[in-house]
């Protein structure tokens, strides 16, 4: 008899289900319907909730070809494991060559990035913006590719809070600024894997100084997220391609600036108007010929 493809333990279970004793069917259906609990809670616990005997779970596992409940649960656990690899990497690898390969690459990239944006937590950004609003001074740090995000944030915030915002290391070696952090100030650190040592140092200095630390990172486990008061997550690896995507980080930065401006109220608006007037007077912009 041909073994059905062992695609997932859940499907094996489903296939074997009809040929099982009545009680084991019950238990089997319970497992299928609560597979998350099956992987996390204990056998006895499940038995109590399912109103069945603990032994039934062991028997169920053996009935569908496992050595015991432990092995079945291990299989379920592995099946449930969050995508360890980027789901797009396969697509990127298998992408066909030819004149349209590049177009496909771009489209995939843009799609993935567009899908990632709504996953950003608006609440976390709003809370972080409140911290920025209260901060007496705002430091911004980002290295290598994240430098671009840091500079945009610096630019936008300085439009309405010019003398309270600055990039770490803007006026000398970074190390000089690290000692300048004070409680009541906010430090924003942007980074993703692989993390630069410099960014981690900034985060640690901010923490030690008692300043409010805001991390814009790709993971809660990021070094600069340790001890951070706010962590704003984006998906750097979500898009296919060779470099991680900064689109999410940039979107966060822009939202952060927008909300902080919004919180600033009339005062912020006035500062922004002043700045614009000054730029116009210096004829920075092309005059509108319409």
Of residues 35 through 94, those in contact with a copy of itself by CB under 8 A are 36, 39-41, 77, 81-82, 87-88, 90-91
Residue 24, binding choice from a copy of itself, DNA, none, Cβ under 5 to 8 Å by partner class: DNA
Contact 57, 68 (CB under 8 A): no
Sign for the CA dihedral angle at 261, 264, 269, 273 comes to negative
Which part of the chain contacts DNA (CB under 7 A), choosing from 63-71, 86-94, 172-180, 281-289?
Answer: 63-71
| Touching a copy of itself, residues 128-157 (CB under 8 A) | 129, 144-145, 147-149, 151-152, 155-156
Q: Which is nearer to a copy of itself, 47 or 268 (CB)?
A: 268
Name the phi and psi angles at 141, rounded to 5. -135, 135
What is the C-alpha to C-alpha distance for residues 34 and 51, in angstroms, rounded to an integer? 14
Q: What minimum distance in Å lies between the beta carbon of 51 and DNA?
A: 8
CB of 14 to DNA, least distance (A): 18
Query: Which residues, including other chains, have CB under 8 Å from residue 119's CB and lie 6 or more apart?
Result: 235
Question: What are the start-end ranges of the E strands in 71-164?
Answer: 138-142
Which of a copy of itself, DNA, none has residue 175 at its interface (CB below 5 to 8 Å by kind)?
none
Residue choice 197, 267, 274, 277 for contact with a copy of itself (CB under 8 A): 197
Q: How far apart are CA 1 and CA 93, in angstroms?
A: 36
* Number of residues near DNA (by CB under 7 A): 24
| Cα–Cα distance for residue pair 274/159, rounded to 1 Å | 9
Minimum CB distance to DNA, residue 220 (Å): 22
Cβ 87 to a copy of itself shortest distance, Å: 5
**Nearby residues of 26 by Cβ (< 8 Å), 6 or more positions away:** 50, 52
């Amino acid at each position: 008899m041909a073994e059905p493809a062992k695609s997932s333990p859940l499907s094996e279970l489903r296939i074997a289900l009809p040929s099982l004793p009545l009680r084991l069917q019950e238990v089997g259906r319970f497992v299928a319907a609560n597979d998350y609990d099956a992987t996390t809670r204990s056998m006895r616990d499940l038995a109590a909730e399912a109103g069945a005997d603990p032994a039934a779970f062991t028997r169920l596992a053996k009935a569908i070809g496992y050595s015991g409940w432990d092995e079945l649960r291990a299989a379920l656990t592995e099946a449930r494991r969050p995508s360890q690899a980027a789901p797009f990497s396969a697509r990127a690898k298998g992408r066909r060559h030819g004149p349209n390969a590049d177009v496909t690459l771009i489209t995939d990239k843009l799609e993935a990035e567009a899908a990632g944006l709504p996953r950003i937590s608006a609440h976390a950004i709003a809370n972080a913006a409140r911290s920025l609003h209260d901060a007496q001074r705002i430091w911004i740090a980002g290295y290598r590719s994240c430098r671009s995000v840091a500079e945009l944030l610096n630019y936008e915030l300085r439009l309405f809070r010019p003398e309270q915002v600055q990039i770490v290391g803007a006026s000398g070696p970074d190390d000089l600024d690290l000692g300048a952090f004070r409680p009541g100030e906010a430090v924003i650190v942007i980074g993703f894997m692989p993390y630069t040592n410099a960014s981690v140092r900034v985060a640690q200095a901010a923490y030690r100084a008692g300043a409010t630390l805001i991390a814009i990172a790709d993971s809660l486990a990021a070094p600069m997220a340790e001890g951070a008061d706010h962590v704003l997550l984006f998906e750097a690896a979500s898009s296919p391609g060779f470099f991680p995507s900064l689109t999410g980080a940039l979107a966060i930065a822009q939202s952060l600036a927008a909300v902080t401006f919004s919180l600033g109220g009339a005062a912020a608006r006035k500062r922004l108007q002043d700045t614009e007037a000054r730029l116009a007077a210096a004829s920075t912009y092309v005059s509108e010929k319409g």
